[in-house]
Amino acid sequence: MGFFLETLMGGLMSGMLYSLIALGFVLIYKASGVFNFAQGAMVLFAALAMARFAEWIPQWTGVQSLLMANLLAFVAAMAVMIVVAWLIEKLALSRLVNQEGITLLMATLGITYFLDGLGQTLFGNDIYKIDVGMPKDPIIVGESLFQGGLLVSKEDLYAALIAAALVALLALFFQKTATGRALRAVADDHQAAQSIGIPLSTIWVIVWSVAGFVALVAGIIWGSKLGVQFSLSLVALKALPVVILGGLTSVPGAIIGGLIIGVGEKLSEIYVGPMLGGGIEIWFAYVLALLFLLVRPQGLFGEKIIDRV
């Protein structure tokens, strides 16, 4: 029982991190109807900015405190992501209003490769580390309930708590704020939203900035765990089954989908993997997403009428 609970908790914590990246896809899609293939590149770009600013700022300012250096680096990286969001709106999206979905999809593919190249040009292409002080040692809990207790990774636990807090914050933002309601209105009908005075350009800068903020947090967490390198952009591929499962338009769907994928791949690897030779964790999420596409293409919480991409 104790081992099962350890596996379950590991899956839930991984699932929250998948949900965090999936939120980036959902945010852009909700506000613009665009499936943003650039989300992975945004995670890499934000993580590179954070890692390099955390290295450069102490050299430029003489700041010795790790906490202060990280805070300043976070602010600088966030400012860069806002500039990126503004440039994406001015140079790409504003010129593609009311175009076909495939045109917008190709635009995000172009943005992906541009950000990949620009990030490495500005910040370098080595492997960088992000040290935000997250503890690496595991802890043992529930010793009184289970023999030997349950082994829990502190780093994964902290990361899952941060992801959960951010997910809750974004859910409130969409449901309770005027800006959030404006974003949903734009997602439902661009022309109707414009007719009642909602400025598309401002809304898109906001939503891409929020997506940049999510990418920055995701980049810091994943960069702290894996190091900041080119393969970090591929982490976003793990979020694709999550958004298919949860629904492209649903913030709660991104959360539930992430948890299902995280738990499912851990349990299947441990309990089914030995019978099939292992390796289930690699493909489990994609097979599950494929099955959902066959029986419920809109996902668990998605709207019934959506454009396929």
DSSP string over 179-195: HHHHHHHHHH-HHHHHH
Instruction: Determine the pLDDT at residue 307.
Output: 53
pLDDT tens track for 4-19:
888 888 888 888 888 8
Which band of pLDDT confidence, cut at 50, 70 and 90, is reported for residue 161? Answer: confident
For the ranges 78-82, 256-260, 279-283, the lowest mean pLDDT is seen at: 279-283
Cβ–Cβ under 8 Å, residues 54 and 130: yes
φ, ψ at 64 (rounded to 5°)? -105, -25
Give the separation between CA 220 and CA 42, rounded to whole angstroms.
12
Give the separation between CA 182 and CA 204, rounded to whole angstroms.
11
3-state secondary structure of 71: helix
Q: What's the rounded mean pLDDT across residues 149-166?
A: 81
Instruction: Determine the pLDDT at residue 196.
Output: 77
- What single-letter amino acid sits at 18? Y
Q: What is the DSSP string of 227-266?
A: -B-GGGGGGHHHHHHHHHHH-TT-HHHHHHHHHHHHHHHH
Closest to 102 measured CA to CA, from 94, 110, 91: 110
**pLDDT of residue 309 exceeding 80:** no
Residue 124 φ/ψ region, left for φ over 0, alpha for ψ in the -120 to 50 degree band, beta for the rest: left
CA-to-CA dists, residue 26 to 31, 95, 246, angstroms: 9, 22, 10
**pLDDT of residue 303 exceeding 70:** no
Higher pLDDT, 216 or 300: 216
Angle at 35 between CA 30 and CA 40, to 5 degrees: 110
Give the separation between CA 273 and CA 281, rounded to whole angstroms.
8
% of the chain with per-residue pLDDT over 90: 10
Give the separation between CA 29 and CA 207, rounded to whole angstroms.
10
Instruction: Determine the pLDDT at residue 56.
Output: 93
CA quadruple 231, 159, 43, 268: dihedral sign: positive
Q: What share of the chain is helix, strand, coil (3-state, %, to 5)?
A: 75, 5, 20
Q: What is the DSSP string of 193-222?
A: HHHTT--HHHHHHHHHHHHHHHHHHHHHHH
Closest to 206 measured CA to CA, from 232, 230, 233, 185: 185
% of the chain with per-residue pLDDT over 70: 95
Cβ–Cβ under 8 Å, residues 152 and 141: yes
